[in-house]
Structure 1
Amino acid sequence: MTKEDSVTNVMSSSSGNQLEMWYWIFLWALFSSLFVHGAAGVLMFVMLQRHRQGRVISVIAVSIGFLASVTGAMITSAAVAGIYRVAGKNMAPLEALVWGVGQTVLTLIISFSRILATL
């Protein structure tokens, strides 16, 4: 690790490269999604521990949900980074946090609302 790669230098610099912007947005979305799915998985595992196949169902449901969330995060992170690049704007690290965690929050809102059932 060089001096240029220290945490303070990375967090204070704004990223202008599209791949770098995508990477930071995706990492925030990945970790926030991992947190949400981890909490849901623990809750499912505890609630279904006495069920004969409950533990297996919990692992499968959380795995599929997490993979779908990560796939969506990859696509939307690339789209946001592309829009920033086309607009010629740089992305501050706090903006990447807002976009990444915002994707997870928006996914939660859509998942818990009944909007998809009406389509």
Structure 2
Amino acid sequence: MAIKGYRAFIKKGISAGKRQDLTGGGLLRSIGGWSVLKDFRKAGIRVKGDERILGDSDFVENVLKAAEEEFEQKYELRAKGYDFNRVIQRVAEVMGMEIEQVTAFGKSPPTVKKGVAKIAIIGS
């Protein structure tokens, strides 16, 4: 039922064609022009987003903050020398495995058994 409704919604949107209220201009256009934006700035109101983004300014701010935190964390780890290969190497050391076993496809019984036994030892 939901899929049919979604398809109908998409078809209706396609048949409506290009909508000026959803294209170009971004924040400046959607807020009502320069004069409105200047008034907002004088009042100390900072707006991030426009009607093309589903959510208010607080939502947009939260999404941007979360993305920035994730970006900073990713590059903090990279600055400390962490990358995929280093993680694989460390897992192999901790689990007493060969690097090839860590990245092997599937769940071979010897590899799984070795990992479970190592985790049990570490956990106790």
TM-score normalised by length of structure 1? 0.29
Which one has a larger percent helix, Structure 1 or Structure 2?
A: 1
Flag the structure with more relative contact order, 1 or 2, with Cα contacts below 8 A and sequence separation at least 6.
Answer: 1
TM-score normalised by length of structure 2? 0.28
